[in-house]
Amino acid sequence: MTAIYDNNQHVFLRLGSGLGRASSIGSGSYATIASIQKSPPSPSPYATSDACRVSYYASSQIMLMSQVQLQDPRFVDPTKRLRALMIPRATITLMNVTREGIFGRIYTAKLGQETVTVKAIKETASKRQLNLFLSEGTMMYGLDHKNILKVLGVNMDNPKQPLLVYSYAGRGNLKRFLIKCRQKDDDHYSLSTQNLVDMAIQILLGMMYLHSQCVCYKDLATRNCVLDDKLQVKIADNCLSRDLFPNDYFCLSDNESKAVKWLAVESLLHKHYSAASDVWSYGVLIWELTTLAQQPFSEIDPFEMGSYLKNGYRLGQPVGCPDELFAVMSYCWLANPADRPPLPQLLSFLQEFYTALCRFI
């Protein structure tokens, strides 16, 4: 099975007594929410396999995370973080610009002899944009996990144009990489379903770690992940995401720029964020993986998304998407946050599916 889903149709479905592929896409036997709830995934016998990328975060202790109050480090004054991360400007050598927005830039650079990524903000940025840049760019400070991109340093020699330094990821932004995989030229990378499931598992492990550290991420999407040359995925902060991916964010009545089409229904309607709302966004991220970063709900007006989700409508099964993956997505989009699967259950399900894919190689 491959993941080249060009000309994918955005077909929506409504949650009802049974949930499967919309009739306009095709027919067949498809997993339903009810079937998953009746037969939840059992613990994988491969839970210690390196090939399946399991870490100790899959232990039963994580089951207690739903009882922990998660926090948003972006709301914490970053002054202490900035002080601890300060590095001399002389140690940073900016090379080429890899991305540029209205008020931000991303560079390939050198930190000493090490190749790194540097995020910079232009002097024309507003004070609010500058404050967001610093608070969002340092939110991963103090975290240490193989699937989390942590900030290495900050330079503020010019307070209006600070520099944030990160580890380098050879293939760069995950969303841009997936879009490039749609191309039919010699330079495109052909991803298998196994590759995509492996990426989903890595991102899930990163999310489990964030929740274990009481971090509510709130903006999980492929645009906020990076990829190295070995297809190792890391969740990054969402610093500059609004600037570099403006089509993914919308200002609604509260005049706050949000990733409306990735948000859980309770986040959209009531501004309520939790581990369960991150699970919802994770379901949309899997949808992005299986469509090679198509835009979710592209035909829906952002101002109508709240009522659309409240009325039970969800993204449909992408063309070529395995039933198992669509079942996972659908389970993540249950209206009641308490009914959505905890992260360890999702991990177990995806591990078993990954192992089944390995048997066909």
Determine the length of the chain. Answer: 361
Catalytic residue among 77, 144, 187, 219: 219
5 contacts: CB under 8 Å, gap ≥ 6: 290, 291, 292, 294, 318, 319, 320, 321
Return d(Cα 201, Cα 324) in angstroms, integer: 14
Return d(Cα 144, Cα 295) in angstroms, integer: 31
72 contacts: CB under 8 Å, gap ≥ 6: 215, 216, 218, 273
Is residue 157 classed as helix, strand or coil in its secondary structure? Answer: coil
Angle subtended at Cα 82 by Cα 115 and Cα 235, rounded to the nearest 5 degrees: 55
249 contacts: CB under 8 Å, gap ≥ 6: 241, 242, 257, 258, 259, 260
Beta bridge partners of 233: 227
Whether 6 is catalytic is no
Distances 349 to 37, 46, 186, 207, 260 between C-alpha atoms, Å = 12, 12, 35, 16, 27
Q: State the catalytic residues.
A: 219
